[in-house]
Amino acid sequence: MPRRGRRSASACSSCSRSLASPIPGSSRLADGSRTCSTRRDPVTEPRAYLDHAATSPMSAEVAAAYLEALQVVGNPASTHGHGQRASETLEEARAEIAAALGCDHAELILTAGGTESVNLGIKGLYWARRRAGAGPVILVAEGEHHATVEAAEWLRDTQGARLVWLPIDGAGRLTPDTLRSAIAAAGPDQVALLSFLWVNNEVGTIQPVAELCGIAADAGIPSHVDAVAALGQVPVDFARSGAAVLSVSAHKIGGPVGVGALVLGRRTTVDPILHGGTQQRGRSGTQDVAGAVAFAAAMRRAVGSDRHPTTAHTAAVTTLRDTLIAGIRSIDPEAVLRGPAPGPERAPGNAHFTFPGCQGDSLVFLLDAAGVSVSVGSACQAGVAETSHVLRAMGLPEDDAAGALRFTLSADTRAEEIERLLAALPDAIARARSAGLA
């Protein structure tokens, strides 16, 4: 792991977007480079935004709370009046976020986003466990987000960790039996930690979190759970999850980018990555009061007092998602829904299809030109398009994985956005298919 299938790609000369294959409608410049000439202005044109798993827009309500908090003067660590006021504002926000996540406020460490949380969760837990005498094995599910994959590989390459990748099945599930066998094979004493996604950010698979964490805990192994894609989609209750540490990020639910949290159970220790003023358990750095206030405001919109995503929101999102799935199936009977069937094992806001004979990034390009923002759901690093390591881990051949498109919705998604997608899709599929997989 992770086996990355690389495909050659050229990039738009004006915006660096990758253009994997010659798309009818893109213009070729005199120097042979191509540009997205048909793109519309995303600010002035009415568009459909179906990429909420990448980032979800900030509502006016959250933006107003953020703006107001940005004007609070004072470092919450200062002892004077300004500092105390900032500290009170911060702690109110922390308490609200913690309550929504089912943890105590003392267990909530604010971070600079999901990537930092995941890194601190995995590296910090690994170092602390090693110091306490645990072995070097890290159990990591296949198909994890790159924050986890890269953190785990860094520990392997520089810190002596031994990675054991846990296979996921064709729907993206990590099964309890797979975990039990891996623990038995490695030897429980040899395992420093387990890490897995609550909800897969590409195909929307919901893992049986409490069961998996329970199996690991029974063997004396702490679990890090990446709940970034779960927040706002399913109830995320730290106390009930059995996780030792859990990562979340604000911008996936309409909070600011660069704000996140690591929930660190009272009995769990992580060694810090950042050294400094030790403002929080395991994390140094002046705390972001406004970021915390905006995160709390976004949480209020996304999650009810019972820690469940607001029921009306979930019902509305599920209905729109199912309309989208039915529409795609009638437009292209060859398209295959990846991940679990719609139902309790699938995040309500996720639909993920592969379109045979098409490049996913061609479809993204063509839909973009028609005013619809979606994603292939896989990484694009240094201008090289890659097929999704998640789909590859689910057993898809490279060609099938190449035609991936991810559609992600939020409670703010409107029916017109789904209609716009479904109106643009037949032409996009026809043109992408004629361009093929070259």
Q: What is the set of active-site residues?
A: 380
CB neighbours (10 Å) of residue 275? 9
By CB under 6 A, the residues from 188 to 217 that bind ligand PLP are: 197, 201
Instruction: For ligand PLP, give the closer residue by CB, 360 or 377.
Output: 377
By CB under 6 A, the residues from 246 to 285 that bind ligand PLP are: 249, 251, 260
C-beta nearest to ligand PLP: residue: 114
Give the nearest distance from C-beta 416 to ligand PLP in angstroms.
26
Give the nearest distance from C-beta 238 to ligand PLP in angstroms.
16
d(CA 360, CA 147): 23
Nearest Cα residue to 120 out of 7, 253, 260, 19: 260
For residue 228, state whether it binds ligand PLP (rule: CB under 6 A): yes
Instruction: For ligand PLP, give the closer residue by CB, 21 or 111.
Output: 111
String of contacts with ligand PLP for each residue 106-125, x by CB under 6 A: -------xxx--x-------
String of contacts with ligand PLP for each residue 291-320, x by CB under 6 A: ------------------------------
Give the nearest distance from C-beta 146 to ligand PLP in angstroms.
8
String of contacts with ligand PLP for each residue 54-93, x by CB under 6 A: ----------------------------------------
Instruction: For ligand PLP, give the closer residue by CB, 134 or 380.
Output: 380
By CB under 6 A, the residues from 140 to 179 that bind ligand PLP are: 145, 147
CB 295 within 8 A of CB 259: yes
d(CA 323, CA 91): 42
d(CA 226, CA 207): 11
Q: Which residues sit opposite 353 in a β-bridge?
A: 337, 405
CB 361 within 8 A of CB 19: yes
d(CA 96, CA 99): 5
According to DSSP, the β-strands at 27-28 and 372-373 are unpaired
Alpha carbon separation from 358 to 4, 26, 401, 422 (Å, rounded): 19, 16, 10, 17
Interface with ligand PLP: number of residues (CB under 6 A): 14
Instruction: For ligand PLP, give the closer residue by CB, 87 or 119.
Output: 119
By CB under 6 A, the residues from 327 to 356 that bind ligand PLP are: none
Between helix 289-302 and helix 81-101 the angle, nearest 10°, is 30
d(CA 207, CA 169): 11
By CB under 6 A, the residues from 359 to 388 that bind ligand PLP are: none
Nearest Cα residue to 21 out of 406, 426, 402: 402
Instruction: For ligand PLP, give the closer residue by CB, 147 or 168.
Output: 147
Give the nearest distance from C-beta 349 to ligand PLP in angstroms.
13
Instruction: For ligand PLP, give the closer residue by CB, 224 or 251.
Output: 251
CB 237 within 8 A of CB 227: no
Residues lying near ligand PLP in the complex (CB under 6 A): 113-115, 118, 145, 147, 197, 201, 226, 228-229, 249, 251, 260
